[in-house]
Structures are given as structure tokens and as C-alpha cells.
Amino acid sequence: MTAHAVIERPVAAGALLPVDPLAYIRHAMHAGERHWPQTNCYADLWIEILHALGLEPAAAFGFTIGQDFEGDQFTFFKPPLDDLEALYGLKVTELALYDELIGHIEQQIARGRLVLLELDSFYMPDTRGVSYRESHGKTTIAVNRLDRAGRQLDYFHNDGLHRAEGEDFDGLFRLLPGQMRDDTLFPYAEMVRLPEQAPREADLRETALALLARHVARRPRENPVAAFRTVATAQAEALAERPGAAFHLYAFNTLRQLGANFELLASHLAWLGQGVSGLDEAGAAALRIAEGAKLAQFHLARAMKQKRFERFDAALAGLAAEHAAVSDALGRRFPG
């Protein structure tokens, strides 16, 4: 990223950024060799938005040290909007929808703004094999190009840039027969005002370091993995009596959110650690959490079949120790 690089503007009618789904190369934080190539829809979305803007996504993930256990799930981590503005100059606000949805999006694209929408993954071709034309689920996308006449939508979602067209386009925007009723709610939407210039790398690092110190000071005082461990075996025993689909939902909201969260923290610390001392120990422990959560998920699946939970519990004990190592190392680095 060059100093004060100008954010690229649209090169094609109806498009916000000059990127094409057919030629798009996703960011390295979504590389297949990572333990958790996909994290959650909102965090993944911002990784690719920042990447497409020519900005460094790893700078945004210091907040992940604040993840907690919420009793039935780990915190669904989302980049704080205040952090995005402080780091990159991005201003995110809710977009009120009160008229034709496509018209609202066209208006914002024309003004150079990105629109984030919660839509139904049933009509998203990139979810093929998961939910595409199989099940309905809420997920967040960002619209890069909308062609009303051609019934095409280019959108950021999960780990890439994708295209929906024809009947999928109609389904996403509730244009199919019977989709719209008088009591149908509009989806939740946000609009993103883009900065004219990218931050200098030195400024980005300085801001990221200050934000990390703030998030470390606000991290959970009690070990969230230890808290999870106290209830996980009982939850797993109950889960073993339910249909298989319940396992996937539980694992996504517990072990996947834990592992993915700390792999992103490891990426953040590795990026920030270039020229900043005292972060290596925490980064290595965070990466071990990412790997260990993946192994714990395997032990959970086996435990549910065998009705034996000792190895699952032992895996969580190791993860709790690694979490303590991350928290203690960052606490020493940022004692404030």
C-alpha cells in the first residue's frame, strides 16, 4: 500500500469497485491452508472489502482479544465500526429502507457508497453444497455491482466476490411470485462511506497498536475457554441425543468461532509484530488455539458417537491454558 494511495473508483457503470468475480483473487487470510479459511459472514466480508479497497485487513482484528463465552456460544466477533473508521476512515451507518430495495442500492452506488445487506443464502450461488437452494439462512453481503436490466448482482460474501443472476437475482430481491406480502419486513442494511485516500502504513500501524492496547485492557477477566469447559460436556451429552444438524450449528457457534477468532488475532499480531516487540508469544499461543479448536471439534464429533467425552474435555483444558497464555502475554505487553 503506497502512502496516501487514492482509493480506486468505479470503472464500469453500476459498479462500485473495479473488480470482477471471474478474475477476483481473495486475500491471503482466506487461504485454503489456514485452519479456518472461513470465519463468520461479517468478519469474512470485511476482510474482502478491505482487500478490494487496497487496504490491509489484518490491521482490523485486534478486537478479537475481547471474545468471551456467552453461556451458549462464543462471541460472534464483528469488526467494531469505530475501529474501521479510526483505522481506514470508513464510515458505516445504518441505511433506512422504506421504498424499493433495488432503488435504494442504485442510489447509494451512484453516490460511491457500499451497501451491506442481510439476505437469504438460499439464492446465493457461492453457498452451493451448503444452503444454496437447500435451506434458508440470514447472511450479510456487500453489493459491488447491480444491473437491474440484466438481472445481475456482484456481491462480496464469505471469502470472495461472487455473481448472482436470473432467478437467483429475483430471489434475493424478493421479485419471485409470492415472495412479497404486505407484512414482509425489509432486510437490515448498512451503507459505507469510503475515504478518498488510504492511510499511510505508519499511521495504520500506530492506530492499530493503540486500538489493540485498548482492547487488551477490556479483555475478559475470567478465562472464557475455562468457562466453556465447565458446561461443554453437559451440552455435548444433550447434543448427542439430537439430530446431526444440531451438531453443525453448535460447533459453528462455539469451537469454530473460538478457533477462527484466535487465528485472526494471530494474523493481526504477526502483521503488527513487524517492528513491534513482545507480540510473538501471544501470537504463537493464539495460533495454537486455532489449531486446537479444530482438533476439539473432531473430538466432539467422535464423542457424540461413542458417548465418551474425556478426550473432548482434555482438549478444552489445553485450549483454556493457551487462552491464559495469550491473555497473560498481551497483559504484560500492554500493562496499562
Per-residue pLDDT reduced to its tens digit, 166-225: 999 999 999 998 776 666 788 999 999 999 899 999 999 999 999 999 999 999 999 999
- CATH topology classification for 28-193: Cathepsin B; Chain A (3.90.70)
Give the pLDDT confidence of 53-87 residue by residue, as tens digits: 999 999 999 999 999 999 999 999 999 999 999 99
What 3-state DSSP class applies to 166?
Answer: coil
- Res 6: pLDDT: 43
Residue 165: pLDDT above 90? yes
Query: Which letter does DSSP use for residue 148 in this model?
Result: T
Instruction: Label the pairing between strands 189-193 and 138-147.
Output: unpaired
Query: Which letter does DSSP use for residue 275 in this model?
Result: T
Type and span of the H or E element at 200: none
Distance CA 212, CA 334 (A): 9
Length of the chain: 336
Mean pLDDT of 32-39: 96
What residue ranges do the domains of the chain occupy? 28-193, 201-333
Name the grid cell of 101: 430495495
Residue pair 108/95 in contact (Cβ under 8 Å)? The answer is yes
Q: How confident is the model at residue 13 (pLDDT cuts 50, 70, 90)?
A: low
- Res 11: pLDDT: 44
Question: Of 189, 218, 202, 57, which Cα lies nearest the Cα of 115?
Answer: 189
Question: How far is the CA of 321 from the CAs of 47, 226, 229, 310, 326, in angstroms?
Answer: 29, 8, 11, 17, 9
pTM equals 0.93
Mean pLDDT of 250-255: 97
Higher pLDDT: 248 or 5? It is 248
Mean pLDDT of 290-309: 95
Residue 238: pLDDT above 60? yes
Phi, psi of 14, deg, nearest 5: 85, -5
Q: Which residue has the cell 497483559?
A: 331
Give the pLDDT confidence of 107-137 residue by residue, as tens digits: 999 999 999 999 999 999 999 988 999 999 8
